Amino acid sequence: MPLTAGIVGLPNVGKSTLFNAITKSQVEAANYPFATIQPNVGVVEVPDDRVDRLVELFHPKKTIYTTFEFTDIAGLVKGASKGEGLGNQFLSNIRLTDAICHVVRCFDDADITHVEGSVDPIRDIEIINLELIMADLATVENRISKIERKAKTNKEKDALAELALMEKLRESLESGKPARSVELDDDDRERIKAFSLLTLKPMIYVANMSEEEIVNPNENAYYQRVCELAQDEHNLVVPVCAKIEEELSELDKEEKQEFLQDLGIAESGLDHVIKAAYRILDLCTFLTAGEDECRAWTFKKGMKAPQCAGIIHTDFEKGFIRAECYSFADIDQLESEHAIKEAGKLRLEGKEYIVQDGDVLHFRFAL
């Protein structure tokens, strides 16, 4: 399964332009509210220099990068939870995503209308966050109405625990705070997992700014305000220029690098967004390499070798025996598996081994 993120924001903040860029899809991006009236899904490959290096060394028949799936929905507006606009109709499409990318307008342009009449990223963030909170509140209240009688009448232990949790969530949401602000243990998270609460998901603010300002984003006053808010919320901020990303999407890898160098930018906005998503979700990458295939795999930090084997195939986890392991840094330096073995860098790891980012693994298993 690819890493998934839902893209939200007010109309005309650059959501669809960014989506066009990162997926090379022809999603309509027009200068009026509600241009996007159907949810759009696009899957992109995650660039990884380590995979490129393994390809140089192994010359595989097949190369597979890990992927990132974006879902773009219609722009939300104030009152969406009460039926205003179209965006609220599509919130269900991002309930199953891993994280939310909230695109915020951080540029002035008299030719691009703002649905609220002026550029104010903090106000815009508050509008969207409130709509997500109200959508979650409706979900929580609906669940409470279904289990309240069962819990209070039958005194079922599980029902009482769930009711107490839902009431705690309702109290937080009614006070304008997201579900992620409520302290939850593992049992709590398991109880509410099926409801896919929007405000429980990690949030990445994507600050969309002009071509001139993206080179030095910290000089953008709007961006600074978003950073201050995100720090208070323990969320992340990524500066991008959707226009530049759109231009980059039309170039090959070498042309992209030249274009970015000319601009004085080290990485594309898409790369920044992906890295932020990995960081906020505690995700890492392990690698597999050989003549048949070189491939990147995404896993959760802290996972043990059998669990990572299960990402490739459930049978690998069930019949796990051991993992033959070496680091990417070692293969990058020594340039062959033979040299890895000669240098004593090949390790045999068992069921308790915690896989590290950049491990190159070969799993041994029994059917």
Q: What is the DSSP string of 182-237?
A: S---HHHHHHHGGG--GGGS-EEEEEE--TTTTTSGGG-HHHHHHHHHHHHHT-EE
* β-pairing verdict for 99-105 and 293-300: unpaired
* pTM for the whole structure: 0.84
Beta bridge mates, 350? none
CA dihedral for 340, 345, 348, 354, sign (positive or negative): negative
User: CB neighbours (10 Å) of residue 316?
Assistant: 20
Query: Cα–Cα distance between 316 and 299 in angstroms, integer?
Result: 15
Distance CA 306, CA 185 (A): 25
Long-range contacts of 343-352 (CB under 8 A, 24+ apart): 348/322, 348/323, 348/324, 349/305, 349/322, 349/323, 349/324, 349/325, 350/305, 350/322, 350/323, 351/304, 351/305, 351/306, 351/320, 352/304, 352/305
List per-residue pLDDT tens for the chain, 367 residues long.
568 888 888 888 888 888 888 766 433 444 444 444 455 777 788 889 999 999 999 999 999 998 888 887 765 656 555 555 444 556 777 888 899 999 999 998 877 767 667 889 999 999 989 989 998 999 999 999 888 887 777 777 888 888 899 999 999 999 999 999 899 998 999 999 989 999 999 999 999 999 889 989 999 999 999 999 999 888 999 999 988 988 888 888 788 888 888 888 888 888 888 889 899 999 999 999 999 999 999 999 999 999 999 999 999 999 999 999 999 999 999 999 999 999 999 999 999 999 999 999 999 998 7
Task: Give residues with Cβ within 8 angstroms of 193, minimum separation 6.
Answer: none
Q: State residue 83's pLDDT score.
A: 53
Q: Tokens standing for 4?
A: 């998934």
Sequence-separated (6 or more) residues with CB below 8 Å from residue 310: 316, 317, 318
| pLDDT score of 77 | 57
pLDDT at 4: 86
Q: Count Cα neighbours of 43 within 13 Å in the Cβ-side half-sphere.
A: 6
